[in-house]
Amino acid sequence: MTTVTCLVTHVELDERLTTRRQLSVSARLEAELSDGEAVVLLDDRGWSESFLGDGDIRAHLTRESIEETARTVVGPDEPYGDQTQEQAAAAHWGALADLLARRGVRVAAADLAGAAHPVVLGERLRAWAGF
């Protein structure tokens, strides 16, 4: 039986929107499976951040700050309407578990929420940031 070994977020530089004062990246969340396959769960995420002033944003970036933001960006999202944080999180993890179930991988939403979640910084991002 194939299982989820971890979630991985891949982050890459968006060169079209990045300047010395603004970083723009895309983020893709994948589930790594015990059979070696990776299943894309979200591929429509990303963010931009700016540095106000005369400096270069790279002087203020750390690998850890990018990794933390990447995990936030791929969810769960903030609650909306009358939804609580717990309901928003349950909906997020449930939707990802449903995506995996359609691929034949049975996993509980709670197991996804607690899975290891490394972040992989893309080659262009590492080169641009000097990591």
pLDDT at 54: 84
Q: Between β-strands 4-13 and 22-33, what pairing exists: parallel, antiparallel or unpaired?
A: antiparallel
pTM, two decimal places: 0.94
For 89-124, give one letter per residue: b (16+ CB within 10 A) or e: bbbbbeebbeebeeeebebebeebbebebebebeee
Query: Which pLDDT tens digit goes with each residue over 61-112?
Result: 999 999 999 999 999 999 999 999 999 999 999 999 999 999 999 999 999 9
Determine if the peptide bond prior to 76 is cis (ω within 30°).
Answer: yes
Q: How many CB atoms lie within 10 A of CB 57?
A: 18
For the cut 90, the answer to whether the pLDDT of residue 53 exceeds it is: no
